[in-house]
């Protein structure tokens, strides 16, 4: 069987960035991003989100800074019982300030 085709436009890497909902839902404990790129991220969630849903997210960087971005769910898969999150999601960045993309890029280079 041939290997699956990787359609990603951006290099993904593990990084010590935390993510949580922005705004009134920011009380939710942040979770470690599974992987991140300049185009989006993969994260765990206990809340189900349909493909196409747009979420305002707060990224917490290792050096202490934060960024708020708008991301769209491109896939979501339920996780087995006992996992660290009920769902794993792939999110595509829809709106991110250029300086915040630069900060993500710096973390990816580390």
Residue with tokens 């915040």: 100
**Do residues 84 and 34 touch, judged by C-beta distance below 8 A?**
no
Domain count, the chain: 1
Helix H or strand E encompassing 75: strand 66-78
Query: Tell me, what CATH number does 51's domain have?
Result: 2.40.10.220
Asked, for residue 13, whether it belongs to a domain, the answer is no
Per-residue pLDDT at 1: 46
DSSP state of 81: T
pLDDT in tens, the chain (110 residues): 444 444 546 555 567 789 999 987 667 788 889 899 999 999 999 888 999 999 999 999 988 899 999 999 999 999 999 888 899 999 999 999 999 999 888 888 77
Per-residue pLDDT at 10: 56
In which domain, by residue range, is 71 found? 19-109
**Do residues 73 and 87 touch, judged by C-beta distance below 8 A?**
no
Measured between alpha carbons, how far is 71 from 90 in angstroms, rounded to an integer?
10
Encode burial over 1-13: b for 16+ CB neighbours within 10 A, e otherwise: eeeeeeeeeeebe
Per-residue pLDDT at 42: 93
């Amino acid at each position: 069987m041939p290997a699956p085709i990787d359609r990603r436009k951006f290099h993904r890497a593990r990084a010590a960035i935390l993510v949580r909902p922005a705004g009134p839902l920011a009380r939710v404990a942040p979770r470690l991003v599974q992987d991140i790129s300049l185009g989006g991220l993969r994260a765990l969630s206990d809340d189900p989100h349909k493909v196409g849903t747009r979420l305002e997210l707060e990224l917490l960087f290792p050096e202490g800074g934060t960024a708020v971005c708008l991301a769209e769910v491109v896939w979501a898969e339920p996780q087995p019982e006992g996992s660290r999150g009920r769902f794993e999601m792939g999110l595509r960045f829809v709106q991110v300030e250029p300086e915040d993309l630069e900060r993500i890029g710096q973390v990816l280079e580390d």
